[in-house]
A and B are shown apart, each in its own frame.
Chain A
């Protein structure tokens, strides 16, 4: 049984494509053979909804009169990067409030960041903008104070350098004080464990070598249409793998792009981790074309067959000690055992919303609104991972 993407698209346009969500497929494989499932289904839809802090928005304000070249800019008190085109901005999801802003210290206490401003703009809210210009002969304007919304800005799209981790770690705290991390609070003496990947429902764990997903792949991004732009930052395809080819920790990542004006605020939300900072909760859905039986065989992976390392955050080093591997069936049961101790687990990925996104994408394909794309180029499979070693001057004698 083999199909091409062109054949699948023809079926989608004719309203005859069979689409199952990943969870549906896994449930049907209890009674259906891989060959039979591959014969029946054309597309498998996957979804995930989790904090993706390496995200941000490109905004082009549109030229002002008289023209301005932005030197510094704040959107609702959150600094946006402006060191490129005259009225181009990049607003990072993890950007926190400017402690030196006019509102001062009171402002820095607000639990708000770039992710909240991005989500507010997508929701159609008005956002105050304040900017200082770099005065030149071409751009005489020295400052700008206005209110923007997605209707009044020329362009507004998400460009996220690192989304959709193929797999991730499990965070615990073996120390004696609470830690406030990007995985939320970790309580001392192994008080809790947090995982941040959907396991067997994680889109890219069902395509371990990224055979189906490449540059140019069309996806669901924040309730709108997006595309895979590039490998994500810290893309690490050479991560160790199990015999079933799934990586044992963080591995592939993707850079994603999509028009934010079309997105739905339900699937794009600002969030804040206490004493850590701001981020963006974002929904991503990836369609997997069933080209042959191998696609289904890969999607048959179960939570018992995917693992993640348990990492101790009490040692703040790049290489933190690990308590070994656990599988996602154990993690999703709510309890794992670490060194004989039972530890409560919790996800930091909405398994419920992830499934809903897979359902939405399935509906889009059924209705003909969404067709599949051939990747333009594959994502790298053998990229080395270089840590940053700060250059140290030679020790002097004094």
Chain B
């Protein structure tokens, strides 16, 4: 079923495909970022569920690989909301998820490739 086409045509929702893993005639997984009117969004999610599509909601998040991080602190200088800070005494990296706006500046700044988004 052309899911993203129907979302656009019937619900005026812009779907940005973030990840897709769909084999022909098989169950697959599609990760979409949806933008549109809030009521239309509800209707669209309801329609998806009626089509026997399992819908789970997720928001994009920053994930830090503790094994790769060396606590150099470079990411703290580009973080606009102080979600990434250094402990004032130990200088260990601290991540306050609730402050993060997922601008992803830290992802490009990290020289260790230790920061990613969750999808």
Contact = CB atoms under 8 A, between A and B. Distances in A.
Interface of A: 49-51, 111, 184-185, 187, 191-194, 269, 271-274, 279, 281, 334, 344-353, 355
B74 interface: yes
A344 B77 contact: yes
B86 A351 contact: yes
B23 to A, nearest CB: 25
A184 B74 contact: yes
Contacts of A334: 76, 85-86
Contacts of A49: 70, 72
Contacts of B108: 185, 274
A345 B112 contact: no
A192 B71 contact: no
B103 to A, nearest CB: 12
Given A281-B70, A348-B73, A192 B78 contact: yes
A17 B113 CA distance: 41
B91 A352 contact: yes
B16 interface: no
A355 B87 CA distance: 14
Contacts of B109: 184-185, 274
B12 to A, nearest CB: 35
B78 A346 contact: yes
Contact of B112 (A50, A193, A269): A269
Contact of B78 (A50, A187, A271, A273): A187
Contacts of B86: 334, 347, 351-352
Nearest to B92: A352
Contacts of B90: 352, 355
Contact of B77 (A111, A194, A350): A194
Contacts of A355: 90-91
A273 to B, nearest CB: 5
B70 A269 contact: yes
A210 to B, nearest CB: 26
B112 A281 contact: yes
Contacts of A274: 108-109
Contacts of A192: 77-78
Which of A49, A194, A279, A351 is the most central at the interface, judged by chain B CB atoms within 10 Å of its CB?
A: A351
A313 to B, nearest CB: 14
A353 B109 CA distance: 19
B71 A271 contact: no
B111 interface: yes
Given A279-B111, A351-B91, A346 B70 contact: no
Nearest to A191: B78
A269 B93 CA distance: 18
Given A281-B111, A349-B72, A352-B92, 18 more contacts: A184-B78, A185-B108, A194-B74, A272-B111, A274-B109, A281-B72, A281-B112, A334-B76, A334-B85, A344-B76, A346-B75, A347-B74, A348-B72, A351-B73, A351-B86, A353-B71, A355-B90, A355-B91
Which of A187, A191, A192 is the most central at the interface, judged by chain B CB atoms within 10 Å of its CB?
A: A192
B104 to A, nearest CB: 12
Given A281-B111, A351-B91, A352-B91, A345 B77 contact: yes
16 contacts: A49-B70, A51-B72, A184-B77, A185-B78, A185-B109, A271-B112, A272-B113, A273-B111, A274-B108, A334-B86, A346-B73, A346-B76, A347-B86, A351-B71, A351-B86, A352-B86
Contacts of A111: 113
A353 B70 contact: yes
B77 A193 contact: yes
Contacts of A185: 78, 105, 108-109
A194 B86 CA distance: 14
A50 B77 contact: no
A111 B114 CA distance: 13
B68 to A, nearest CB: 8
A192 B84 CA distance: 14
A54 to B, nearest CB: 16
Contacts of B111: 51, 184, 271-273, 279, 281
Contact of B72 (A50, A187, A191, A344): A50
A310 B104 CA distance: 26
B70 A347 contact: no
Which of B73, B90, B93 is the most central at the interface, judged by chain A CB atoms within 10 Å of its CB?
A: B73
